[in-house]
Structure formats: C-alpha cells, structure tokens
Amino acid sequence: MKAWIAKVGRWLGLLKFDLLATSQPTYPDAAPLPPGKLIVVEDAGIQKWACMQCPGGCGKTLSLSLNPARRPRWGVKWDFWRRPSVEPSVHQKDDCGCHFWIRGGRVEWCADGRRRR
Ligand SMILES: [Zn+2]
C-alpha cells in the first residue's frame, strides 16, 4: 500500500526515486528481477542479501551480500517511503561495468560507470 502511495507521489512529482525496497525471507528466484525494486532478503531479523536488476540495462541480477562476516559487504537502510540507500557503491567489474551509488532510492552513476547522467 505504501509503495502504491509512493508511486502516486512519484507520478505527481512529489517523490523522486528509482528503487523501492521490499523485504522477503527467501532469495528471489525470479529472473530477471522486477525493475525498480531492491529486494532485501531478511530472515529472522538478519539481513542477508540485497538483490536488484542491474540498472545499466544488461538484465543481470545483482546480489549484494549484507552478511557482516563476508567481504565485500554492503549496508542497506531505507526511509519512510522505503527508498533505499546502499553503502558502499556498487561496482561491477565484469563486462557490465556499472558503477553507481544508491542514495535515497536514486541510482547515482559514477563518472567511470557505463551510464552517465
Ligand atoms: Zn549491468
């Protein structure tokens, strides 16, 4: 419901975001993942993965480990509207080459990433 309100807010120009966070207990098996969603795999209060479709358009599923015992690891938090912020940046070293930050639900491309604004 809140996601629906957020989307109406975006349509009205009141809210700006590229991604909204949703959480679920199991790793998503859909491929490709629905665009515009950051799926946080959270089981028993422990965040395990953040998954999203690569915003660069290659269609790949990005899986960011949130496990503090693993490297690399990322941290995810989101605001009232579930707009996620991810730290550090996501840098794909393979042929995709995307390098971006997710801040406040917005994808911010780095200068050395493939997609520039
Ligand atoms: Zn990509």
Burial class (CB in 10 A: 0-12, 13-18, 19+), 65: middle
Q: How much distance in Å is there from the Cα of 62 to the middle of ligand 1?
A: 8
Q: Which structural domain range is residue 95 located in?
A: 18-109
Q: State in Å: Cα 42 to ligand 1 middle.
A: 24
In a domain, 94, yes or no: yes
Q: Tell me if 68 is assigned to some domain.
A: yes
Phi, psi torsion values for 15, nearest 5 degrees: -120, 145
Domain count, the chain: 1
- Answer yes or no: is 64 within a domain: yes
CA of 56 to the centre of ligand 1 (A): 4
Instruction: Report yes or no on 43 lying in a domain.
Output: yes
pLDDT, mean of residues 23-50: 92
Given a contact cutoff of 8 angstroms between Cβ atoms, the answer to whether 16 and 10 are in contact is yes
In tens, the pLDDT along 2-29 reads: 889 999 999 999 999 999 999 999 999 8
pLDDT band at 116 (very low <50, low <70, confident <90, very high): very low
Distance CA 49, CA 99 (A): 19
**How remote is the CA of residue 44 from the centroid of ligand 1, in Å?**
31
Q: Quote the ligand 1 centre to 107 CA distance (angstroms).
A: 13
pTM over 0.95: no
Between the CA of 92 and the centroid of ligand 1 the distance, in Å, is: 7
CA–centroid distance, 5 to ligand 1, in Å, is 29
Q: What is the pLDDT of residues 92-109, one digit of tens each?
A: 887 788 999 999 999 999
pLDDT range class, residue 115, cuts 50, 70, 90: low
